[in-house]
Structure 1
Amino acid sequence: MEKIIKKRFERDLIACLLLILPFGACSQSTSESNNSHQASADGEYVLMFDGQTLRGWEGDTSYWRVEDGKIIGERKATDEPLKRNTFLIWKGGQPADFDLTLQYKISDAGNSGINYRSEQLEDTPFALKGYQADIDGKNNYTGQLYEERKRTTLAYRGQVVEVPDANGGEVKNNAWTGLMVKGTLGEDAKLRAAIKANDWNTCRIVAKGNSLQHYINGVLMSEVLDNDGKNRRDAGFIGVQIHVGPPMRVEFRDMKLKILH
C-alpha cells in the first residue's frame, strides 16, 4: 500500500512540475527579452516618422502630406503664394545634444531646410526661429548653417567658424558680423560635387554643446562653434521647411534621431 501511495505522489509531483516549469521558463525569457530591448534602445537612433502618417508632427496639411513612405512638402503653382516660411514641426521633444540623419530630395526651384534647437513662435502659425541646415535644389546653399529669423548666415559651405560672444554683432548682407573663420573644409566645387541634384541625399546634423556640424552624404559641409551666450539656443524643436518663393517640392524619409549624452 505504501508503494502505491508513493508512486501516486511521485506521479502527481511530476505532473505538477510539468505544468509549472513552462510558465516559469516563459516568464524568465520574456523578462530577459524586455531587458535586452531596453538596453539596446539606450543611445540608439529612434524613428521620427512612422512612414505612414504625420502622427507626432504639426504643420499646415495644405502643404504637407505622407505619400509612399515619404513626408512631402509641396507648394503647387495653383496654390496661393506663401506670405512666410512654413514648417512641419516634430513634437517628440526639444532635444539639446543629438545626432540626426535623414534623406531628402528637392526640386530644382526648391528652397528648404532642417531646423533644430528652435523656438516655436506663438503668434505665427507653424513658424520656427533657430538654427537651420540649409538645403536647396540648385545647391547654392546646401550644407551651410543659417539661423532662421535670427542671426541669418553663421557659416557658408566649406567654412569652420567660431561665433564670438555678442559684442556688437549684427546682421549685414544676410550674414552675422564678427564671425571668425577658423579653417576650411575644402574647395566649394568639390563639396558641391558631393551633393546630388534631383536625387536622394543624406543629411546629418550633429549638435553637441556649442559645436554644430552639418554633413551631406557623409561629407562635412560646415562647422560652427557658437560662443554667443546671448543669442545661441541650447535645445529646441526640430522641423522641416517650405520656403517662400516659386512652387516647389521637397521629400523626406528615413528620419532618425539619437540623443547624445
Structure 2
Amino acid sequence: MKNNILISKFIKTIYSLPIVLIFIGSIFTSCGDKKKDSEENQEVEVAEVDVPAKVNELSQEEKDEGWKLLFDGKTTEGWRGYNKDSFPSQGWVVEDGAIKVQGTGSGEAGGPGDIIYDEQFKDFELTLEWKVSEGGNSGIFYLAQEIEGEPIYTSAPEMQILDNDKHPDARLGTDGNRQAGSLYDLIPAKPQNAKPVGEWNKISILVYRGTVVHNQNGENVVEYHLWTDKWKEMVKNSKFKDWENFLNAGGEDKQGFIGLQDHGDDVWFRNIKIKKL
C-alpha cells in the first residue's frame, strides 16, 4: 500500500514537471524580451539625439552641393563698405563668431554705413542667421548696384530685419510690410514668425530668373517676381516709384551685390552661405 502511494506521487510529479519547466521558461523569455525591448528603446533614444550644427562652417554635403561660405567667423575677408574700397575701420566688428554692426543710438545717422560682399551674384540661394537688439532695425540687400552718390537701398530689394515688438516700423507701412522677413515696404512676411529679441533667426533668400522667395525660420513668407508687369505696378504705387535702379533691380545683367544694412542698432549675422543656381 505504501509503495502504491509513493508510485502515485512519483507519477504526479512527472506529469507536473513540464508545467513547472514551461513556467520557468516563460519567466526567462519574458526577462529576455524586456531586456531586448530596453536595448531597442535605448538605441532609439541615442539615434534621436541632435548633433549641434557647426557655426560658420560648410558640411561635406554642402561643399558637394556647391555652397560657398561668405564669412569664416573670424575675419571680414571678402567684405567691404558700400562704395568703398575697404571694410569700415569702426562700427562693424567680428564678435563671438558673428559680424556685428554696432549701434549708434542715432538711427541711420552717423553710423559706419552698409557693407557688401565683394562679388556679384545672379541666380542664387543665400542663407544666414541674424539676431537683433531690443528695438533694433536692419536689413539684407540683394541684387544691389554700386552707384556713386546713391545709397544701396535705391537699387536693391531688402529683406527686413526688425524687433517687431519695440521698433515703430512694425506698425508703419501697409499690412505689416515693414516687419521682419518682409520685402521692405512692399510685401508683408506671412506668416510672421520672427523670433524674439536675442534669439537667432534663420533665413534664406532665393533668386532664380526673377522669381524671389524669402524663407524665415523654415517657412516661405514672401514670394514675388521681378521685372514683371505686376512688379512694375507694385513699385509704381510705392515709395520706390521714382527710383529707376530699384525698378530694374540687378541692372542690365540682372545680378548684384549682397549687402548688410547699418541702421544704427546692434545686429549680428553669422552662417552666411550662398549657392549659385
SS at match of 1:130: coil
Q: Which amino acid aligns with 2:258?
A: I
Taking the TM superposition and a 5 Å limit, the aligned residue runs for 1:9-24 are: none
What is the CA–CA distance in structure 2 between the aligned matches of 1:40 and 1:136, rounded to whole Å? 29
CA displacement, residues 213-251 of structure 1 (integer Å, 9 cap, x when unaligned): 1011111111111215862422100010012xxx52000
- Tell me what 1:212 maps to: 212
1:120/1:128 contact within 8 Å kept? no
What is the CA–CA distance in structure 1 between the aligned matches of 2:222 and 2:112, rounded to whole Å? 23
> For the structure 1 residues 124 and 73, does the alpha-carbon distance in structure 2 shift closer, same or farther, using more than 3 Å as the test?
same
- Tell me what 2:202 maps to: 202
> For the structure 1 residues 96 and 241, does the alpha-carbon distance in structure 2 shift closer, same or farther, using more than 3 Å as the test?
same
CA displacement, residues 59-101 of structure 1 (integer Å, 9 cap, x when unaligned): 2332111112110001234x7961689211111x111110110
Runs of at least 5 residues in structure 1 that lack an aligned partner in the other structure: 1-38, 147-152, 159-190
What is the CA–CA distance in structure 2 between the aligned matches of 1:129 and 1:83, rounded to whole Å? 22
Could you say which structure has the larger radius of gyration?
A: 2
- Shift, 1:40, TM fit: 7.9
Q: Which of residues 135, 143, 158 in structure 1 aligns to 2:161?
A: 135
Runs of at least 5 residues in structure 2 that lack an aligned partner in the other structure: 1-60, 82-87, 171-178, 233-246
What is the CA–CA distance in structure 2 between the aligned matches of 1:83 and 1:67, rounded to whole Å? 21
Alignment of 1:69 with 2:97, yes or no, is yes
Q: Which amino acid aligns with 1:117?
A: L
Alignment of 1:236 with 2:272, yes or no, is no
- Tell me what 1:58 maps to: 80
- Tell me what 1:49 maps to: 71
SS at match of 1:220: strand
Q: How many residue pairs were aligned?
A: 179
Q: More strand by proportion, 1 or 2?
A: 1
- Tell me what 1:250 maps to: 267
1:87/1:128 contact within 8 Å kept? no
CA displacement, residues 149-196 of structure 1 (integer Å, 9 cap, x when unaligned): xxxx331222xxxxxxxxxxxxxxxxxxxxxxxxxxxxxxxx22x321
Across the aligned residues of Structure 1 and Structure 2, the Cα RMSD in angstroms comes to: 2.8
> For the structure 1 residues 127 and 144, does the alpha-carbon distance in structure 2 shift closer, same or farther, using more than 3 Å as the test?
closer
> For the structure 1 residues 81 and 238, does the alpha-carbon distance in structure 2 shift closer, same or farther, using more than 3 Å as the test?
closer
Identity of aligned residues (%): 33
**TM-score normalised by length of structure 2:** 0.58
CA displacement, residues 15-42 of structure 1 (integer Å, 9 cap, x when unaligned): xxxxxxxxxxxxxxxxxxxxxxxx9846
What is the CA–CA distance in structure 2 between the aligned matches of 1:80 and 1:104, rounded to whole Å? 19
1:86/1:127 contact within 8 Å kept? no
> For the structure 1 residues 81 and 236, does the alpha-carbon distance in structure 2 shift closer, same or farther, using more than 3 Å as the test?
closer
What is the CA–CA distance in structure 2 between the aligned matches of 1:237 and 1:61, rounded to whole Å? 21
Q: More helix by proportion, 1 or 2?
A: 2
SS at match of 1:155: coil
